[in-house]
Amino acid sequence: MSSVMLPPTCQRSRRSPATVGGDRQATGRRLSSATRRAGRGTCPDSATPQRDPPVDGARSPTRSAASTLLHGQSPASVQSGDIDRIHVSDSALANTVSDRSSRTYDDRMLTSFTFVTGNPGKAEQLGYHLSIPVAHQDVDLLEIQSLDPHDVAEHKAREAYRVLGSPVLVEDTSLTFHALGRLPGPLIKWFLTELENSGLTRLLDGHEDRSATAEVVFCLYDGETARTFHGEVRGRIAERPRGVMGFGWDPIFVPDGHDRTWGEMSPAEQAATSVRRIALAKLEAELAAS
Mean pLDDT of 140-151: 89
pLDDT tens sequence across 254-271: 999 999 999 999 988 988
pLDDT tens sequence across 162-191: 999 999 999 999 999 999 999 999 999 999
Please count the CA atoms within 13 angstroms of the CA of 96 that sit on its side-chain side: 23
Taken in order of first residue, the domains within the chain and their CATH numbers are 21-42+65-72+80-289 (3.90.950.10)
Report d(CA 251, CA 281) in Å as an integer. Answer: 24
The answer to pTM > 0.85 is no
Of 169, 220, 200, nearest in space to 263 by CA: 200
Mean pLDDT of all residues belonging to the chain: 70
Report d(CA 127, CA 17) in Å as an integer. Answer: 30
How far from each other are the two terminal CA atoms of the chain, in whole angstroms?
34
Of 158, 141, 156, 170, nearest in space to 59 by CA: 158
Q: What is the pLDDT of residue 289?
A: 67
Of 124, 130, 15, nearest in space to 69 by CA: 130
Please count the CA atoms within 13 angstroms of the CA of 93 that sit on its side-chain side: 14
Mean pLDDT of 126-144: 83
Cβ neighbours of residue 118 closer than 8 Å, sequence gap 6 or more: 33, 138, 139
34/266: higher pLDDT: 266
Confidence of residue 4 (pLDDT cuts 50, 70, 90): very low
Confidence of residue 290 (pLDDT cuts 50, 70, 90): low
Report whether 72 contacts 104 (CB < 8 A): no
Query: How would DSSP label each residue in 138-160?
Result: ----EE---S-HHHHHHHHHHHH
